[in-house]
Amino acid sequence: INSLFASLFAEVKLPFGLSYRLSFQPRFQNIKDYNFWNTETITGANDYKGGYGTRQDYSQSEWMIDNIIKWNKEIGINNFDLTLLYSAENVKNYTSQYTNQTFLPSDALGFHGMGFGTIPIVTSTDTEAGGNALMARLNYTLLGKYLLTASIRRDGFSAFGQQNPTATFPAVALAWKISDEDFINIGFLNRLKLRLSW
């Protein structure tokens, strides 16, 4: 098994309180699982006539890239926290599987001669998936106790199909920190919030 996973990023400060972060996460993995039981082994002699062999190959490569812009600003009794995102990703899988038994003319062929068995099982799988996303989210706070969160996200994914390759997901929430109000004076209660969301 060979695996590589990395997380690379760069972040820069921009004018007007903006910040930009670029991150890239690649991942690569391959697995080779070779097995062979000849007639001189207990498994090969007792359970399989003429030897038994399996050969599996698995490979995967994927990557994800994120672009994030953030803006946080406090203006008097107002606080603004804005996040913008563009993301893209891709995944590729490759699978191979060979299973055979009774190698002719000799089981010395092993898993190097998978085509010379009499009971072949062959599997082959190749898949690829990709997607991208756009997102905007605003967190607004008034006087530190009245909160608004609004977001919209548009996702595209290859598994969505050809007719509707993208979908949009909006959301909004209102919250009130009741425990910060002067008329709430309950000793054992230090945080109480009412939140409505859609």
pLDDT in tens, 89-99: 999 999 998 88
What's the pLDDT score for residue 179? 86
Considering the entire predicted model, what is its pTM?
0.71
Averaged confidence pLDDT in the chain: 89
pLDDT in tens, 38-91: 888 887 777 777 788 888 899 999 999 999 999 999 999 999 999 999 999 999
Measured on CA atoms in the order 195, 68, 129, 32, is the torsion positive or negative? negative
What's the pLDDT score for residue 162? 82
pLDDT in tens, 108-139: 766 677 777 888 888 889 999 999 999 999 99
Tokens 């989210």 -> residue: 137
